Structures are given as structure tokens and as C-alpha cells.
């Protein structure tokens, strides 16, 4: 170390210090002329220039400082600086040198940079003034730093913020915690800025970092004010807040725009137009024309909807508009909804009340007031106020408590008493409900007086019907057949007890059908079941008579009539409503009646057989008489003999007619007479009838005339025999009761529709006529005008009765016009079907003429007289014959001989005519004519069945028999 006059104090410091020490000249570049070892180790070795300038230091800046910080190789070193005390020294002492270990702190240069940067306001102060201020003050407050240094700050702080700031200083000075505070500070332009500062207080000084937050604060104020706009809207308004930028001409978000369309119901198609309208409207607003930055107005959308608008002009952003669009529709809707609900409540036809759990009435509707007859302005506060209306007191507590803890409706029935009103029956329904967490009970009151009285009426009429059913003889029931096939009685009246013989107790268990079926007589069971099944299938009423075992095991069966009407129900079940009634007595009566009927039928049969027998017995002698007279006529009788023979003939004819009439009458009575429907020639038949009677007419000295209209030469279908019988009857009567007069038979074709013809028949005479009082009588059975008539004119009084009956069977009706002494006119008309097919040709036209002069006949007749008479007749015709006496012989004779025709009696010994004919027909086609006195229908039918070709009744009319013989032979030849 050079001794440059270093004083002893310095020397002491240099030698005693373990830390870095060096000495430097006091002249530029302040060369380091001494450095200790520590300095050399840490710094000296790396120094390129060993002077203070080399260390980057201008010593002048440190003249008044005690400490010096050196930066070298990015490390800071602090040194104490000592200036020589005496004026003669020309060097500085740097000692207590050590590396400053401050982690992360900037280097001196960086620190300087930081402090002088324009990031934030940085200031250091003491008491009320600043000792340092960086250059940020100029852009923030408009001051040069120097203008604010060392001058009191109080006048610059906003007077409203001053107290707070002083308090801050006081409190934080003690705790030395950093403080954060925002206050207003006046700039050079006299306007306040908000400075947001963090301040560190120390005993002597304070450090401030601050920044201008006026913009942020303003924006916050704007936001606050913007939000306060919403408070100005009516409650429940349909609103939408938005921000609009005049620069971009857009709302702050797409959602805001979309929401606008949705809230104010702008259709898709109108959106572009509405957007233009909104933008145009907002652009037209000018902040200068509004007070306090708020504008209120409204505009109409193109849909016609009116939108209210509040626009706020934010101070923090002059190019922006903030605002709210709104309308009152939602509120109006809600208000309407409330009104409707109120209306429903008030006008409900049901009387309603809402009460709390203690019975205090919260609300009561009009009908409730009306029901209790209370004026709507009189205050009813509690259900107990209604006690006077009810027969029992404090019923209400039951209504309320019953509904507790359930969601069900509890119902009560109670009676109202009123001074003026008649007593009413009410149904009270109680139901719990919770509104805003509070439990209430909703009560409804319904007047059920009418319903109760209706129920009573129904009960009464049901009782009435029950009484009625019990009084009905027999029993009523309802039987149900369900879809599973089970049949049960759903109702049985008491009367069933009597019919089925079951006790009143039993009837209750008597629901199953099987119990009643078990009572039915086994023989009747199939009928009962089959008829029931048929009724169910066809849905037809059921009726059945059957026997049931009523009462004890060995009790007799009783007859029961069951009837029911089925009905199918909607559910698919089938129901029978029916009755059972005891018809045992009726059955007994019926069986007696049956016996009587059988006896009557038997009697009738006996009568019929008697008539048949009598006629047979009568015919046989008549046959003999008639045959004998016929032969006598051919044996040249004298005139007187002739006259006697004529008388006999007349009597015999009458008897024959009478017997025939009797047989016909009996047949018609028995309903056994059938009308045939075979083709015949109408005109031919009429000619034949007239021809047949012409002899009779001549006999009675009358003129018999036939008048036929045009178009009667036709074939029709009908019963030729019965028509002949009718006309014969009428003409015979006319001839009988006319003397030397005229009998005119008139037949006219009245009309033709399709294949049907209507023909009018009339028989008119100029005879004795019939008195009016007898005109109806003569058609009765066995009736003649006078009984004595029969002696004079003959007859049985059956002819007209039979005529009328026959015509009825043929579909005609006989009528009569007559005057005593002038004559009578019998007339009728008949309808015939025209015969299409060609008629069997008659002998005289188509058929080749047959020779009937020589015929050989076989006669089978057991009765000697009959055989004699018939033999004489045959001989008279010039024919030959052979006689056999029974059927057996007839068959034998047929096998050996050849005959043109067989005349076969029916009743014969050994073998009767039927059997014989059947046998002959096996091997021969010779025609066989039956001869019988029995005109009974069964015999006729049998004659047909056995294959007879013809039939002639006994007593034999010789002419008729000859005609028949010729007919059957012609027929056979024709067929051949």
C-alpha cells in the first residue's frame, strides 16, 4: 500500500476489516490505488480498468451518500464510503465492501429502469409530500414530476376522499402493512382521476405504486346505472336488456338479437326488416338530447306490436348504447289468468270455502254465501260462525281433522236448518291443500236434497215392484249366462218358493241353475235344455212346459210353465227375464179335454164308418133295383109298366144323389176333400154337362139353354169333376123348381191376366123363386125351404151347402138373386190357370176309332144279386163276360183267359179286389175298373195305389159304367 498520507483511522479500518476495502483517487478516472485481498478475490482480479469509471461509477453522484452500490458481473456489492476528513487528502475510502445478496431484486440499473418506466405511477414520499415521482405522472395527471415533488399533496386529493386517506395513513403507519386504496386525484386539467394505489408506509416515508382506474370506475358506474334501469320497469314486464355498438352497428351478442325475436314474437320472415328498424331507431338517438344519459320512448314493430324502450348512454363508451326493450304482455296475461281464476272461484256453481287448520275462513265464494243465505259483505271469519246453520254444532272440526294427513277427499252428509228455508241435506267434501308451505282445507258444500229424495223415490218404486212381483201368481226370475258359460239366478221372487217347493231360506242359496235343473223330471230335461239353447242361440223368447219335483222326495211331480225373454247385455252376458207358474191344474184339465176330444173323434169316426156302411148297404140293393129296372126297360114293358119303372127310376136316382151328397158332405166336413188341378177343355165340359141334363130338362118340360161367350174354347187347369158337380147341382135344382119355363146357363170369359183366366158362371131359371128370408138359409146343411119339399121335389137339403163349400175350396163364392114366382139366379166366378200342355186327346178326335161292339169282360163279384144285375147289363150291351167269385179266382182267370177289361168288386172273400189287382198288374196290362159302394177316402186312395184304371160307384149307373169301360180300353190302346 502506498502511503499517501493515509490517516491512522483509515489504516485501522483497512487492517481490521475482513471485508472488501479499497482506496481510490479523487480525480478522474478515480483510479484504485489500494485494494485488500478480499477485494482482489471478489472483484479486483476481474477488473479490466482499475478505477471507478471502470466500475461504471460517477463518484459525484455519491458525494453526499454514505453507501455506494457497485454492480459488477451482474452482482451488486455495497461499500461504505468515507471521505477524507482533512482537506489535504485526495482519495476516497471504500470499506465494509460485501456482496449484496438480494434475491431477484433488480440490479441498480434495472431498478432505475423500473422506477422510471411508464408502467405505473411510482412515488416515494414523506409526510404529505413526495420525494420521488416517476415520469408516468405526465400522461396520467398532466404534471411534470418536478411540479408535484416537495409540495403538499392534500390540495390535489378530492376532498371527499381526504379523510379516508388520512385514516389509512394513521392505521397503516402503525402496522406497516401495505394498504390498497382508490381515491380521486386532481390532474393538471383540474379534473379528477381515480387512482388505485398500493401504499407501503414506513416511519419516515411511504412508497406508492398507483394507476389511473378512472375508465374502469366509470364503466362500473355505467354498469350499475344500466342495471338500475331494470328497476324502473313494471314488475313482470316482458323485458330484454342489450348493448349496442354504434361502431359495428350490432348488438353485443347474437343471442340478444335472437331473444328479441322470440320475446316479442317476430316471425322468421320479418326478422331482417325488424333488425333494420331497430338499428335505424337506435342510430337516430342522440345522447345530447337526453337528460342524465337516459332516453325513454317506444316504437311499433311491423307486426303492429308496441315495444317500450329505455336507452342509456354509457359515459365509459360514447360509441355504445345500452338499454332495455320491454312490453307488458306477460303481466297482462298473468293478470287475466288471475282474473279468470278469481272468476272461476267466485262463479263456481259449487259452494266453496278455503279454511286454515284452525277453521279460520280465508276465502268463501258467492255460492257459499248464497247457500247459507249470508250477505256477501257480512264478514264470516270462522267456521264456528256457521254453527247456527247446522243441526249439530262444531261439525266443522270433524271436516278439518278428517282430511289431515291424507290427500283424499273426505265426505260428510249433514242437514242445514234455516228459519225461512226448508231443511236441506248437504254433502260436505273436505280436501287438504298446501299453499306456500301452509296447510289449508278446501271445503265444498253440495245440496243433495233432490238426490236424496230421488233415491227415496227409487227405493219406493223398487219396493212397489217387489210387492208386485210377490203378488204375481207363480214366480219371477232373472237368469244370467256369463261369458264363462255359468248360469246363475240373479233374482228370484218369493213366488218361486211355491213353484219349486223350496223354503224362503233355501231361496237365498238357490242361485246356481244346476239346483233347479236337478228338480226337473228326467223325461222333460232334454226339452228344457234344448229349448233353452235354441232361445239363447236365436235370441228368441223361451217357453216350455215341464214337470218339477216340488218339496219332499216322494212328492208328486208338478207341471210348470216356464217362459222368458232373452236379452244380451253390453258386457257380453245374456239375461233372461222370465216367470215360472204352476200349471198342474190346467194340465189336468187339458188331459180331460184330450180324453173328451178323443171320444169325440172316436164318435165321429163311428159316424163316418156308419155312414159309409149305410151307403154301402143302401147301394147294394139300389144297384140291384137300378140294374133290374134297366133290364126291364129293355124287355118291352107295357106303357103302364114303363110309367112304374120311371117312378122307380126317379126314386132310385134321388136316393143315389142323396147317398152321394151324404158322402161328399162327410168328406168335406172331415177336411179330406181335395181339389184337383188337372187340365181339361172348358167348353167341352160345359157341353157335356148340358148334354147330360137335356133329358132331365125335357122331362121337366123346361128349356135348357147354354150361352157361351167368346174365347171359352180353351184348356184350363182345375177340378173338372167338382165343377161338374156344382153346375149339375145348380142346373138340377133349377130344373127341379121350374115347370115349363127356361133354365139359362151363362158362362162368360171375364178377363185374362197373363196365364190366368176369370170365368163367370150363372144358372138362371124362371121357376118358383126363393123368398128373401130363405135365401141365406138354403145354403145351410140339410136345409130346405120347407121340409115338405123333399116329398115333392126330393133332395136332402145338402146340395147347396156342398156347392157352396166346393166353390169355397175352388176359390169362388156363390151368390143368389131370387124373387118368389119370378125365378132365381145363382152365380159365381172362378179363376183358372191356363193349361199350357196339350190335352189328352179325346176319343172322338185324335184317337183312331175303336171297335167296341164286341168286348169280352171278366166280372169279379161275390154278391149273387149284383152279379145277376151286372150280367144282364153287360148282355144288353151285346158283350160277353165270365164271372169269378173272389180275387183268387180273378187272378187265376187272368192267367188263363184273355179279356178286354176287368170289373173288380172290392169287398170279396178269400182275396179282396185290392190284392187281386196288385197280383194281376204283375203280369197283365188289362184295364181293371173298381166297383165299390164304399166311397170312403181311404178306399179311393187305395184304389189309386193298387193300379186300377178306373172306378165306378155302386149302385152302378149302366151308362156311366159303359162310358168308363170304353174310356179305359181307349186309354190302353192309345198308350200302346
Q: What does the binding site for ligand ADP look like in residue numbers (CB under 6 A)?
A: 733-734, 737, 765, 767-770, 778, 784-785, 789-790, 795-801, 824
- Least distance to ligand ADP, CB of residue 774, Å: 7
The answer to whether the beta carbons of residues 241 and 335 sit under 8 Å apart is: no
- Least distance to ligand ADP, CB of residue 743, Å: 8
For strands 678-681 and 715-718, give the pairing.
antiparallel
- Measured from the CB atom, the residue of 261 and 789 that comes closer to ligand ADP is 789
Return all residues near 513 (Cβ < 8 A) that are at least 6 apart. 479, 487, 488, 489
- Least distance to ligand ADP, CB of residue 690, Å: 16
| 233 vs 312: CA distance, rounded Å | 14
- Measured from the CB atom, the residue of 67 and 740 that comes closer to ligand ADP is 740
Q: Helix, strand, or coil here: 558?
A: strand
| 83 vs 192: CA distance, rounded Å | 48
- Least distance to ligand ADP, CB of residue 770, Å: 5
The answer to whether the beta carbons of residues 141 and 123 sit under 8 Å apart is: no
| 452 vs 71: CA distance, rounded Å | 115
- Least distance to ligand ADP, CB of residue 784, Å: 3
| 852 vs 835: CA distance, rounded Å | 31
- Least distance to ligand ADP, CB of residue 951, Å: 24
- Least distance to ligand ADP, CB of residue 665, Å: 11
The answer to whether the beta carbons of residues 102 and 76 sit under 8 Å apart is: yes
- Least distance to ligand ADP, CB of residue 731, Å: 9
- Measured from the CB atom, the residue of 440 and 828 that comes closer to ligand ADP is 828
- Least distance to ligand ADP, CB of residue 779, Å: 7
- Least distance to ligand ADP, CB of residue 611, Å: 17
- Measured from the CB atom, the residue of 100 and 819 that comes closer to ligand ADP is 819
Return all residues near 966 (Cβ < 8 A) that are at least 6 apart. 843, 850, 852
| 108 vs 100: CA distance, rounded Å | 11
- Measured from the CB atom, the residue of 365 and 733 that comes closer to ligand ADP is 733
The answer to whether the beta carbons of residues 855 and 926 sit under 8 Å apart is: no
End-to-end CA distance of the chain: 195
C-alpha cell at 140: 396520467
| 889 vs 21: CA distance, rounded Å | 197
**Angle at which helices 799-810 and 639-669 pack, to 10 degrees?**
50
C-alpha cell at 436: 306456500
| 504 vs 474: CA distance, rounded Å | 15
Length of the chain: 976
The answer to whether the beta carbons of residues 858 and 903 sit under 8 Å apart is: yes
- Measured from the CB atom, the residue of 796 and 932 that comes closer to ligand ADP is 796
The answer to whether the beta carbons of residues 30 and 52 sit under 8 Å apart is: yes
C-alpha cell at 638: 107295357
- Least distance to ligand ADP, CB of residue 622, Å: 17
For strands 487-492 and 475-481, give the pairing.
antiparallel
- Measured from the CB atom, the residue of 770 and 962 that comes closer to ligand ADP is 770
Return all residues near 524 (Cβ < 8 A) that are at least 6 apart. 546, 547
- Least distance to ligand ADP, CB of residue 745, Å: 12
- Measured from the CB atom, the residue of 371 and 704 that comes closer to ligand ADP is 704
**Angle at which helices 864-876 and 958-975 pack, to 10 degrees?**
70
The answer to whether the beta carbons of residues 913 and 904 sit under 8 Å apart is: yes
| 629 vs 464: CA distance, rounded Å | 88
- Least distance to ligand ADP, CB of residue 475, Å: 58
Is residue 255 exposed (0-12), middle (13-18) or buried (19+ Cβ within 10 Å)? exposed
- Measured from the CB atom, the residue of 627 and 797 that comes closer to ligand ADP is 797
- Measured from the CB atom, the residue of 193 and 825 that comes closer to ligand ADP is 825
What letters, b where the CB count within 10 A reaches 16 and e where it falls short, cover 7-29? eeebeebbeebebbbbbbbeeeb
- Measured from the CB atom, the residue of 3 and 773 that comes closer to ligand ADP is 773
- Measured from the CB atom, the residue of 497 and 702 that comes closer to ligand ADP is 702
- Measured from the CB atom, the residue of 350 and 781 that comes closer to ligand ADP is 781
In 737-860, where does DSSP find H-type helix?
A: 789-793, 799-810
The answer to whether the beta carbons of residues 80 and 69 sit under 8 Å apart is: no
The answer to whether the beta carbons of residues 772 and 836 sit under 8 Å apart is: no
| 151 vs 173: CA distance, rounded Å | 21
- Measured from the CB atom, the residue of 81 and 798 that comes closer to ligand ADP is 798
The secondary structure of residue 437, as a DSSP letter, is: T
Residue 682 CB neighbours (<10 A)? 24
- Least distance to ligand ADP, CB of residue 898, Å: 45
For strands 351-356 and 438-447, give the pairing.
antiparallel
Residue nearest to ligand ADP (CB): 795
Task: For 935-946, give the DSSP string.
Answer: --HHHHHHHHHH
Residue 561 forms beta bridges with which residues? 545, 581
| 301 vs 250: CA distance, rounded Å | 18
| 215 vs 568: CA distance, rounded Å | 92
- Least distance to ligand ADP, CB of residue 585, Å: 46
- Least distance to ligand ADP, CB of residue 733, Å: 3
- Measured from the CB atom, the residue of 785 and 931 that comes closer to ligand ADP is 785
For strands 320-327 and 424-435, give the pairing.
unpaired
- Least distance to ligand ADP, CB of residue 778, Å: 4
- Measured from the CB atom, the residue of 681 and 824 that comes closer to ligand ADP is 824
- Measured from the CB atom, the residue of 207 and 789 that comes closer to ligand ADP is 789
- Measured from the CB atom, the residue of 547 and 722 that comes closer to ligand ADP is 722
- Least distance to ligand ADP, CB of residue 758, Å: 24
Amino acid at each position: 500500500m502506498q502511503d499517501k498520507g493515509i490517516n491512522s483511522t483509515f489504516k485501522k479500518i483497512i487492517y481490521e476489516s475482513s471485508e472488501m476495502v479499497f482506496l481510490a483517487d479523487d480525480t478522474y478516472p478515480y483510479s484504485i490505488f489500494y485494494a485488500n485481498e478480499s477485494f482482489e478475490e471478489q472483484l479486483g482480479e476481474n477488473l479490466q480498468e482499475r478505477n471507478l469509471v471502470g466500475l461504471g461509477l460517477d463518484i459525484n453522484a455519491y458525494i453526499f451518500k454514505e453507501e455506494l452500490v457497485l454492480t459488477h458481473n451482474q452482482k451488486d456489492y455495497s461499500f461504505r464510503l468515507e471521505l477524507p476528513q482533512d482537506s489535504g487528502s485526495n482519495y476516497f475510502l471504500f470499506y465494509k465492501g460485501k456482496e449484496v445478496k438480494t434475491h431477484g431484486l433488480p440490479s441498480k440499473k434495472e431498478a432505475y429502469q423500473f422506477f422510471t418506466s411508464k408502467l405505473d405511477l411510482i412515488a416515494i414520499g414523506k409526510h404529505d409530500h413526495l420525494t420521488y415521482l416517476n415520469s408516468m405522472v405526465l400522461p396520467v395527471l398532466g404534471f411534470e414530476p418536478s411540479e408535484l415533488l416537495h409540495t403538499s399533496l392534500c390540495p390535489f386529493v378530492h376532498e371527499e376522499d381526504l379523510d379516508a386517506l388520512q385514516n389509512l395513513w394513521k392505521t397503516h403507519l402503525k402496522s406497516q402493512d401495505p394498504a390498497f386504496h382508490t381515491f380521486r386525484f386532481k390532474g393538471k386539467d383540474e379534473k379528477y382521476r381515480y387512482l388505485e394505489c398500493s401504499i407501503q408506509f414506513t416511519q419516515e416515508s411511504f412508497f406508492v405504486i398507483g394507476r389511473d382506474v378512472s375508465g374502469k370506475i366509470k364503466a362500473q358506474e355505467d354498469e350499475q346505472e344500466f342495471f338500475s334501469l331494470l328497476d324502473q320497469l313494471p314488475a313482470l314486464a316482458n323485458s330484454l336488456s342489450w348493448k349496442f355498438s354504434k361502431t359495428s352497428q350490432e348488438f353485443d351478442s347474437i343471442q340478444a338479437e335472437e331473444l328479441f325475436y322470440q320475446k316479442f314474437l317476430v316471425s322468421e320472415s320479418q326478422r331482417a326488416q325488424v333488425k333494420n328498424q331497430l338499428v335505424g331507431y337506435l342510430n337516430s338517438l342522440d345522447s345530447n338530447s337526453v337528460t342524465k344519459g337516459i332516453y325513454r320512448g317506444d316504437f311499433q314493430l311491423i307486426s303492429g306490436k308496441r315495444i317500450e324502450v329505455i336507452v342509456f348512454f354509457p359515459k365509459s363508451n360514447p360509441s355504445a348504447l345500452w338499454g332495455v326493450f320491454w312490453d307488458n304482455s306477460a303481466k297482462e296475461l298473468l293478470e287475466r289468468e288471475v282474473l279468470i281464476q278469481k272468476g272461476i272461484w267466485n262463479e263456481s256453481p259449487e259452494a266453496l270455502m278455503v279454511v286454515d287448520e284452525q277453521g279460520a275462513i280465508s276465502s268463501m265464494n258467492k255460492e257459499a254465501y248464497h247457500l247459507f243465505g249470508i250477505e256477501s259483505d257480512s264478514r264470516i271469519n270462522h267456521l264456528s260462525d256457521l254453527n247456527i246453520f247446522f243441526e249439530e254444532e262444531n261439525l266443522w272440526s270433524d271436516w278439518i281433522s278428517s282430511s289431515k294427513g291424507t290427500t283424499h277427499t273426505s265426505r260428510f252428509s249433514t242437514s242445514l236448518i234455516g228459519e225461512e228455508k226448508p231443511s236441506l241435506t248437504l254433502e260436505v267434501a273436505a280436501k287438504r291443500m298446501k299453499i306456500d308451505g301452509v296447510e289449508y282445507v278446501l271445503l265444498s258444500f253440495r245440496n243433495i236434497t233432490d238426490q236424496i229424495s230421488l233415491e227415496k223415490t227409487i227405493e219406493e218404486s223398487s219396493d212397489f215392484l217387489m210387492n208386485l212381483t210377490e203378488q204375481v201368481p207363480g214366480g219371477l226370475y232373472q237368469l244370467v249366462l256369463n261369458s264363462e258359460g255359468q248360469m246363475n239366478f240373479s233374482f228370484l221372487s218369493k213366488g218361486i218358493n211355491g213353484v219349486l217347493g223350496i223354503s224362503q231360506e233355501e231361496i237365498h242359496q238357490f242361485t246356481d241353475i244346476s239346483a233347479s235343473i236337478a228338480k226337473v223330471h228326467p223325461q222333460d230335461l232334454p226339452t228344457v235344455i234344448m229349448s233353452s239353447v235354441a232361445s239363447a242361440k236365436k235370441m228368441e223368447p223361451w217357453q216350455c212346459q215341464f214337470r218339477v219335483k216340488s218339496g219332499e222326495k216322494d212328492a208328486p211331480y208338478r207341471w210348470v210353465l216356464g217362459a222368458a225373454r232373452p236379452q244380451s247385455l253390453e258386457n257380453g252376458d245374456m239375461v233372461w227375464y222370465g216367470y215360472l207358474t204352476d200349471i198342474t191344474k190346467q194340465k189336468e184339465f187339458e188331459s180331460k179335454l184330450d180324453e173328451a176330444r178323443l171320444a169325440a173323434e172316436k164318435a165321429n169316426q163311428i159316424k163316418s164308418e156308419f155312414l159309409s156302411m149305410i151307403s154301402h148297404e143302401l147301394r147294394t140293393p139300389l144297384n140291384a133295383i137300378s140294374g133290374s129296372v134297366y133290364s126291364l126297360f129293355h124287355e118291352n114293358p107295357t106303357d103302364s109298366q114303363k110309367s112304374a119303372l120311371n117312378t122307380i127310376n126317379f126314386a132310385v136316382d134321388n136316393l143315389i144323389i142323396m147317398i152321394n151328397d151324404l158322402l161328399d158332405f162327410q168328406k168335406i166336413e172331415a177336411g179330406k176333400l181335395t181339389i184337383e188341378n188337372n187340365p181339361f177343355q172348358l167348353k167341352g165340359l160345359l157341353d157335356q154337362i148340358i148334354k147330360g141334363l137335356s133329358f132331365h130338362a125335357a122331362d121337366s118340360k123346361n128349356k135348357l139353354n147354354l150361352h157361351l161367350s167368346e174365347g171359352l174354347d180353351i184348356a184350363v187347369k182345375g177340378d173338372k169333376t167338382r165343377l161338374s158337380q156344382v153346375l149339375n147341382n145348380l142346373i138340377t135344382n133349377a130344373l127341379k123348381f121350374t115347370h115349363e119355363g127356361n133354365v139359362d146357363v151363362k158362362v162368360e170369359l171375364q178377363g185374362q191376366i197373363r196365364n190366368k183366366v176369370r170365368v163367370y158362371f150363372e144358372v138362371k131359371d124362371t121357376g118358383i123363386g126363393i123368398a128373401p128370408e130363405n135365401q141365406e138359409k138354403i145354403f145351410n146343411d140339410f136345409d130346405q125351404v120347407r121340409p115338405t119339399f123333399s116329398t115333392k121335389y126330393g133332395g136332402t137339403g145338402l146340395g147347396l151347402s156342398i156347392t157352396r163349400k166346393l166353390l169355397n175350396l175352388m176359390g169362388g163364392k156363390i151368390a143368389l138373386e131370387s124373387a118368389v114366382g119370378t125365378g132365381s139366379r145363382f152365380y159365381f166366378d172362378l179363376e183358372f190357370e191356363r193349361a199350357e200342355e196339350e190335352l189328352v186327346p179325346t176319343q172322338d178326335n185324335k184317337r183312331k176309332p175303336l171297335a167296341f161292339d164286341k168286348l169280352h169282360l171278366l166280372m169279379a163279384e161275390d154278391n149273387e144279386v149284383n152279379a145277376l144285375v151286372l150280367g144282364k147289363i153287360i148282355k144288353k150291351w151285346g158283350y160277353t163276360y165270365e164271372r169269378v167269385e173272389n180275387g183268387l179266382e180273378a187272378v187265376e182267370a187272368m192267367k188263363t183267359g184273355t179279356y178286354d177289361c176287368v170289373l173288380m168288386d172290392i169287398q170279396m172273400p178269400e182275396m179282396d179286389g185290392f190284392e187281386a189287382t196288385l197280383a194281376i198288374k204283375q203280369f197283365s196290362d188289362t184295364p181293371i175298373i173298381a166297383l165299390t159302394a164304399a166311397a170312403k177316402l181311404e178306399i179311393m186312395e187305395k184304389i189309386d195305389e193298387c193300379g186300377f184304371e178306373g172306378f165306378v160307384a155302386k149302385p152302378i149307373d149302366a151308362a156311366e159304367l159303359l162310358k168308363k169301360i170304353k174310356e179305359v180300353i181307349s186309354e190302353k190302346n192309345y198308350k200302346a
